[in-house]
Amino acid sequence: MAMMTGEQYEASLRKLNLQVYQFGKKVENVVDDPIIRPSMNAVKLTYELAHQPEYEDLMTATSHISGKKINRFTHIHQSTDDLVKKTKMGRLLGSLTGCCFQRCVGMDAMNALSIVTYDIDQKLGTEYNKRFLKYLAYVQENDLTCDGAMTDPKGDRSLPPHKQPDPDMFLHVVEEKEDGIVVRGAKAHQTGAVNSHEIIVMPTISMREGDADYAVSFALPADADGITYIMGRQSCDTRKLEAGTIDRGNQLFGGHEALVVFDNVFVPWERVFMYKEFEFAGQLVENFASYHRQSYACKAGVGDVLIGAAQTIAEYNGAARASHVKDKIIEMNHLNETLFCGSVACACEGGKQPSGTYLVSTLLANVCKQNVTRFPYEISRLAQDIAGGLMVTLPSEDDFKSPEVGEWLTKYYKTCEGISTENRNRILRLIENITLGTAAVGYLTESMHGAGSPQAQRIMISRQVNMAQKQKVAKQLCGIKEED
């Protein structure tokens, strides 16, 4: 099968029999649900752009398995150039959707597994990598979207998986059969889960021998028996149910997260990529996290949209020439480009692993993500500063259409000559959407906690920095001798 078009992708989702719940009720038509649909549109764009010549270099790659042209989201990185193109692809899509486009996590999971399954096989004589490559070929041939599922509910964070009062707080194997395993548990915060064809499960933390049943990685069809999706709430999400469009902010795109429950789900052996190799769980987590922390170049893309919106509202308000507004726009651009620099740097400094897959610089990937936990918040603060209080006190679209009060609103919310009140409302709602509404999940909260909390990156930075070398040079330059 050739790369899917956007329409083919949408049609493929309609064939899935997903068990999805939202607001306490089962969702019968996931693709057309008004709250879920914008997130599907964002994934759909990743398929559409791959067929447009101007984006071909970033959106497609050559499979190292088949030699065929594939969507880059199914590709295993074969060079630092691939890593850089991944960064640029993320920014491009963020700048075109203004939200999370959801496919990075699956791509990062596959690349991490391509490394770790090889390393397990080399040490233990297993055949995980062979299984994985067969699975990868299937994903590439069918141009599938994969959800990478790592985060467990975790229960009592002070206890390891095997000591939890409820063993299901970490997904684990509950039965081993001749033809596969049975797993139970859940994965939380799953971005784009119901827009995916496949779920790739990984352990969420480093593990010890007592946690062997929890050291499991596998892939399943998204609609496998026993898998249930419970959609998470987002701020302002029910605005998508309203007849108007202005109050939505982003007219086309959005994101979603879900709790994915695995209730005694069977996994055939050919789809198991790790089972009880607890000593490799930490490596898989760290490799995945490094890739995914690089992926936050997408926030620079969303930042592009927010900066453009801030400049626009400044012009609409007649404030664009004020020196303090100009300075704030400059600072927003400075912070946004710094985010992008970190992602490019960790890509350029990446290296080839024994499996042949290229991994980003772990140190610089964590520096990149540490910046992401901070800068989007400051960019958002500045955007809100420039927008003014009307961003959160603006009456509804229905009020503007009201025969009783609509004329007053249009009159009193008008600014510069030639600027329509409606257009001003639209850009204000977009700023609200990105900094406070549904898109704020992807731009702010995800920036803080996605791919690990800020402290997780600080721990990795402390491990990766060569402090002994820094001290050695400092001592040499000032004449300190080690024997002193």
Catalytic residue among 298, 316, 373, 432: 298
Asked if residue 123 has pLDDT above 80, the reply is yes
Least confident interval from 61-65, 255-259, 297-301, 441-445: 441-445
Number of domains in the chain: 2
CATH of the domain at 226: 2.40.110.10
99 belongs to the catalytic site: no
Per the domain annotation, does 234 fall within a domain?
yes
Query: In this structure, are 99 and 235 located in the same domain?
Result: yes
| Whether 446 is catalytic | yes
The whole-number average pLDDT for the span 210-218 is: 97
Given the residues 46, 292, 357, 443, select the one marked as catalytic: 292
Domain-embedded: residue 351 = yes
What pLDDT shows up at residue 440?
87
Given 135, 229, 296, 358, which residue is catalytic?
296
Assigned token pair, 345: 């740097």
Q: Is the CB of residue 198 less than 8 Å from the CB of residue 282?
A: no
Does residue 255 fall inside a structural domain? yes
For 377, counting Cβ atoms within 10 Å of its Cβ (0-12 exposed, 13-18 middle, 19+ buried), the class is middle
Contacts of 361 (CB under 8 A, 6+ apart): 290, 345, 346, 349, 350, 351
CATH code of the domain containing 343: 1.20.140.10
- Predicted local confidence at residue 228, as pLDDT: 98
Q: Looking at 99, 104, 146, 368, which residue is catalytic? A: 104
Q: For 314-321, what is the mean pLDDT?
A: 97
Q: Which spans in 125-278 are helix H?
A: 128-142
The residue from 281, 310, 330 where one domain ends is: 281
Task: Give the mean pLDDT of 345-366.
Answer: 98
Final residue before a domain boundary, out of 258, 281, 304: 281
Q: Are residues 196 and 242 in the same domain?
A: yes
Strand 272-275, strand 216-221: pairing: antiparallel
Is 100 known to be catalytic?
Answer: yes
With a cut of 90, say whether residue 482 has pLDDT above it.
no
Q: Are residues 114 and 169 in the same domain?
A: yes
Question: CA 68, CA 291: separation in Å to the nearest integer?
Answer: 24
Q: Is the pLDDT score of 329 beyond 70?
A: yes
CB atoms within 10 A of CB 307: 20
* Together in a domain, 256 and 302: no
Q: What is the mean pLDDT of residues 246-269?
A: 96
104 catalytic? Reply is: yes
Annotate 374-415 with DSSP letters as a single string. Answer: THHHHHHHHHHHHH-THHHHPPPHHHHH-TTTHHHHHHHT--
Residue 346 and residue 398 share a domain: yes
Clarify whether residues 169 and 243 are in a common domain.
yes
Say whether 407 is catalytic.
no
Determine the Cα angle at 349 with ends 472 and 124, to 5°. Answer: 90
- Whether 199 and 258 map to the same domain: the answer is yes
| 191 annotated to a ligand binding site | yes
DSSP 8-class letter at 321: T
Q: Does residue 1 have a pLDDT over 80?
A: no
Mean pLDDT of the chain: 96
Candidate from 36-40, 196-200, 435-439 with smallest mean pLDDT: 435-439
Specify the pLDDT at position 314. 98
Domain that holds residue 327: 293-475
Name the 3-class secondary structure at 137. Answer: helix
